[in-house]
Amino acid sequence: MGLLRSRALRDRKEFIDALRSLAYYGATVEFEIRERQEPVQVVFRVTPGDIYPIRSVDVEVQPRAPELKRSMPSPVQMGLNPGTPAKARGIVDAGSAIARRARERGYPFASVGETRVIADHLTQDVAVTLTLETGPFARFGDIAVVDLVSVERSYVYGKLPWKRGDPYNEALLDELRKRLSEPRLFSVIRVDRSSNWPMTTQRPTGAATWKAMSWCTGSWGTV
């Protein structure tokens, strides 16, 4: 019965985690192993309790960057309206939103760090704290276009939505992808950001083999 009990304990935790993800932070799950049944039965009793709403939302920026913090979306813009259910999916999406905002304001390696979700069982609500780890501030550097097959470099440079020295903005990479896609000169366009530069890999329409075109911003400038 030891193995069965261990399995039931794991299942109990999964039930509780699932209920909390749906904002049932006061949920309880109990189980009973009925050994005399044939076959042996495990019966779970689930009490979901009340849905806990969001009480407050805070964003901590590490390291401190007051201007960046002021540019963060509001809780309403993040989809974490105070008073609405504190569901896990909404909290995860809010973290993605603040990281994206930072990557549009000069921080190409911004990511979400620790997320604290504190449930108060007395008031039956939740305080959410999202931690944004910015990484270094960066600007676009020099652009190098290589391995073009049938397109002039001047055409490619004319599509760039940024200039050297502009603060990094991830939205401009999306804009670049859009501009290159609209003329339908290329069958595949992918814009990636490596640890050192954005890179676009493409295959010209009608080409028999893959060709690569790199958009190299040189060294990221940090300030």
Query: Tokens 């530069």 belong to which residue?
Result: 197
Alpha-carbon gap, residue 38 to 108, rounded angstroms? 60
Structure confidence at residue 211 (pLDDT): 31
Closest CA to 147 of 197, 186, 92, 202: 202
- The confidence band for 129, taking pLDDT boundaries of 50, 70 and 90, is very high
User: Class of the 54-133 domain?
Assistant: alpha beta
Question: Does 202 have pLDDT greater than 90?
Answer: no
Alpha-carbon gap, residue 98 to 112, rounded angstroms? 8
More confident residue, 102 or 197: 102
- Listed in order, strand segments (DSSP E) in 75-153 are 111-120, 125-133, 138-139
Question: Does 201 have pLDDT greater than 50?
Answer: no
CATH number belonging to domain 138-222: 3.10.20.310
Alpha-carbon gap, residue 204 to 107, rounded angstroms? 32
- What's the predicted TM-score (pTM) here? 0.79
Residue 62 phi/psi, 5-degree rounding, is -125, 125
Inter-axis angle of helices 88-103 and 2-21, nearest 10: 60
More confident residue, 176 or 46: 46
Structure confidence at residue 89 (pLDDT): 97
- List every span in the chain annotated with CATH 3.10.20.310: 54-133, 138-222
